[in-house]
Structure 1
């Protein structure tokens, strides 16, 4: 990819990376273009260019660069993972899931890889054997891909042991049927003996998941009856409709700045006659003490002990409005109405341009028309909220 005396790549990288980190993608692109205008140039600069144009929504061009990077440096696992997310975003599941496996080759993900001394299941029948399926990433990922566990049990013909994190254990255990899995254990404990294993988010690769296979059975989770009764009593006196709100994700998430808002930005949603319920957790929940003018907001954050409480609230509320975070997937798994606020270039699972999603019936997507434009998202949602309340 290079010819003659090349540019000072380290110096260019030092200049470009701060621009990318600051979200000044157009400036980074303009700085990199002269070194790559001929169609050749150092791979490191092409990788930076892809990082500059992808947030601008030029996904096809990003893919072309990423394909070139993978072709010239197949051992660059970070490039392969970047390509996987672009392919999945474009709905190209077959190859996307294969490349997504390279997530475990990245420095920041090696810590979550399970060092299992058993082969990874590849989707084949293994009657008479025991298959361990284990979660690996965020809570939302667990809720989203839990639907595939019974599919894996049916396909494999095996005894299935599901291992999940402590926070989602109760929901998974209580919603279990004999057709879903045979045993459940909490992450960190020693599972029973098993013959093969598969990460929950490697099930799509193992089973060749296609868009046409979605959504499967929905709902596939349900709220605890005792929690439902508790929250029905708690919310009984509030005027309907009840609209649950989540405006910020986990601050430590690598893409949080792109997906999270301040509660004040939801001011256009305030409507007389609508009761908003804050189910926000984390540092942002303190914002509920000062809601936007005209917004009737009841904060439930301090009363929510776990996802069982969240599931019960979502089962009672008429609607969830949320940024891209785990309650979205919990509500979707419960079959509840959800409106999701998405950035201009969203996470791969939301695909491109659609206002619906194959993952969850009844879910609506409200996308930024340009980068950073939450105002247009609020305007669109406000108009729909008027119709919803009526």
Structure 2
């Protein structure tokens, strides 16, 4: 029955009935009674299976209930009616990912694939969910299937080019990779997410190339809908030193703490070329940054007037204009706090203190990629010539607590890395060396000048590059790169060998 025929059959009473029911469903949703709303809609959809608004509302209700099979069925019904969009799919999947329900996100994709096995978008995100633990050749094959089904799916082409570059860094810039990069651009020239992804990979393969960073910065601003590096009534700084104008460097609350600490070393480079000004940072970083950069005016609260500044730039954009300063220890912890903590942990022993952090990441997929289970690192504790101290933020899991209870790992519950970065910096500075995954701890330790062993997943932020065990950001840091996503055995072997040396080797 067509929509027009259905409208002819429905009399005024039925229309009023549907209106009343949808009003009641809206009240149920406002009260959080999503199961009641779903039950009401299910009864009506038996009679009117093709009613557009009812199907749309049912899909919205199923997002709230968030049961993978049910949500996949309702999205599939929308697609059969020609009502589903890419945004609907991303809204459904994003609900699981944002709430850290990765297994449910995978189940949702699998359920939808059973109903429509040749849908390229579903196949793409199904591969994305699995990529954290999937060998790169397998991931490349999955992406090729997607691109066979939909050659113009730009985000898949961009991701394929990126993975080729990770699998073989020497292939970046070669014809095969360039072909896929070009396809992504041509397929979606106005897609900001695609432009951002491609610029990000360009940046990853040319860490200190300022031109690629400026391109990435512009695409990042475009992705966020910003007109310039900072949403302030000041001209954006173009990299030209102006000794008559002060520069405002802006660190936002959305920037990661580790990202801010890493890019802050560029502040010294600005002073060396004669550019002065002020730095805005999140409040919890204010004391540390103020102590570390006494020649800069440091503040945390946004101001109503910025008349004393001539230009502004986002802190994370500085490396597009100046190279990182080569000073090893450019961050300064509170020396009194540091010495007190060092004495507390050593307890009259002369054994070296080794700090350890094994979890990182701001989202569920990111955490899965970066985290090394502490049970895999437990071999380190067999070395009784060292004192091991947890520098891990967040609550500990059962296995981690047991390691602390048997005396092999010191956990200082008086320190909150989230709430008091300055105290945490003193704790890190009390160490003789630090082993950490890619997180705030690694950046803080290296910035304080400590020998730092940094554990990286196969795919990581652009500033770590794609190969090698050194980084231009930290001369005192050694990188331990994962060879296969999800597998840490080889990395742990190399860490154990480095720590087993007479002195922790960087």
Q: TM-score category by the smaller chain?
A: 0.7 to 0.9
Q: What's the TM-score once normalised by structure 2's chain length?
A: 0.65
1:36 deviation in Å?
4.8
4+ residue stretches of structure 1 with deviation over 6 A?
37-40, 292-295
**Which residue of structure 1 aligns with residue 107 of structure 2?**
none
The alpha-carbon distance between structure 1 residues 176 and 352, as it changes in their structure 2 partners (threshold 3 A), is same
**Which residue of structure 2 aligns with residue 88 of structure 1?**
203
The reply to whether residue 163 of structure 1 matches residue 280 of structure 2 is yes
CA displacement 1:134-191 (0-9 Å, x = unmatched)? 113111111111111232244464x40110011111011112333xx2x211044546
Provide the rounded CA distance (Å) in 1 between the counterparts of 2:159 and 2:476.
38
Provide the rounded CA distance (Å) in 2 between the counterparts of 1:191 and 1:138.
26
The answer to whether the Cα contact below 8 Å between 2:247 and 2:278 also exists between their aligned partners in 1 is yes
Moved more, 354-363 or 25-34: 25-34
SS for the counterpart of 2:321 is helix
Tell me, which stretches of 5 or more residues in structure 1 are unaligned? 1-7
The alpha-carbon distance between structure 1 residues 389 and 285, as it changes in their structure 2 partners (threshold 3 A), is farther
1:280 deviation in Å?
0.7
Provide the rounded CA distance (Å) in 2 between the counterparts of 1:224 and 1:310.
10
Provide the rounded CA distance (Å) in 2 between the counterparts of 1:263 and 1:71.
45
The alpha-carbon distance between structure 1 residues 32 and 286, as it changes in their structure 2 partners (threshold 3 A), is closer
**Which residue of structure 1 aligns with residue 234 of structure 2?**
118
Provide the rounded CA distance (Å) in 1 between the counterparts of 2:242 and 2:117.
51
1:200 deviation in Å?
0.8
The reply to whether residue 143 of structure 1 matches residue 257 of structure 2 is no
**Which residue of structure 1 aligns with residue 291 of structure 2?**
174
SS for the counterpart of 1:341 is strand
Which aligned pairs between 1:176-195 and structure 2 lie closer than 5 A? 176-178=293-295, 181=296, 183-190=297-304, 192-193=306-307, 194-195=309-310
**Which residue of structure 1 aligns with residue 363 of structure 2?**
252
From 398, 401, 410, the counterpart of 1:289: 401
Provide the rounded CA distance (Å) in 1 between the counterparts of 2:439 and 2:146.
39
1:54 deviation in Å?
6.1
Q: What's the TM-score once normalised by structure 1's chain length?
A: 0.83
1:365 deviation in Å?
0.9
The alpha-carbon distance between structure 1 residues 342 and 28, as it changes in their structure 2 partners (threshold 3 A), is closer
**Which residue of structure 1 aligns with residue 501 of structure 2?**
387
The reply to whether residue 226 of structure 1 matches residue 344 of structure 2 is no
Which aligned pairs between 1:27-106 and structure 2 lie closer than 5 A? 29-33=140-144, 36=147, 41-47=152-158, 49-50=160-161, 56=167, 60=172, 64-70=179-185, 73-91=188-206, 93-101=209-217, 102-106=219-223
Which aligned pairs between 1:329-368 and structure 2 lie closer than 5 A? 329-368=443-482
Indicate the structure with greater helix content.
2
The reply to whether residue 268 of structure 1 matches residue 379 of structure 2 is yes
Provide the rounded CA distance (Å) in 1 between the counterparts of 2:450 and 2:496.
20
The alpha-carbon distance between structure 1 residues 372 and 32, as it changes in their structure 2 partners (threshold 3 A), is closer
How many residues are aligned here? 372
Provide the rounded CA distance (Å) in 2 between the counterparts of 1:319 and 1:225.
17
CA displacement 1:86-127 (0-9 Å, x = unmatched)? 2222225233202221112225x86x9742121110111323
The answer to whether the Cα contact below 8 Å between 1:125 and 1:155 also exists between their aligned partners in 2 is yes
Moved more, 228-237 or 26-35: 26-35
The answer to whether the Cα contact below 8 Å between 1:118 and 1:196 also exists between their aligned partners in 2 is yes
The answer to whether the Cα contact below 8 Å between 1:169 and 1:186 also exists between their aligned partners in 2 is yes
CA displacement 1:311-357 (0-9 Å, x = unmatched)? 22222211100000011111111111100111123321111221121
From 342, 345, 349, the counterpart of 1:235: 345
Compute the RMSD of aligned alpha carbons. Answer: 3.3
SS for the counterpart of 1:320 is strand
Provide the rounded CA distance (Å) in 1 between the counterparts of 2:117 and 2:317.
36
**Which residue of structure 2 aligns with residue 217 of structure 1?**
327
Moved more, 369-378 or 280-289: 280-289
The alpha-carbon distance between structure 1 residues 280 and 70, as it changes in their structure 2 partners (threshold 3 A), is same
Provide the rounded CA distance (Å) in 2 between the counterparts of 1:217 and 1:258.
31
SS for the counterpart of 1:104 is helix
CA displacement 1:278-308 (0-9 Å, x = unmatched)? 0111134775312289872101244346222
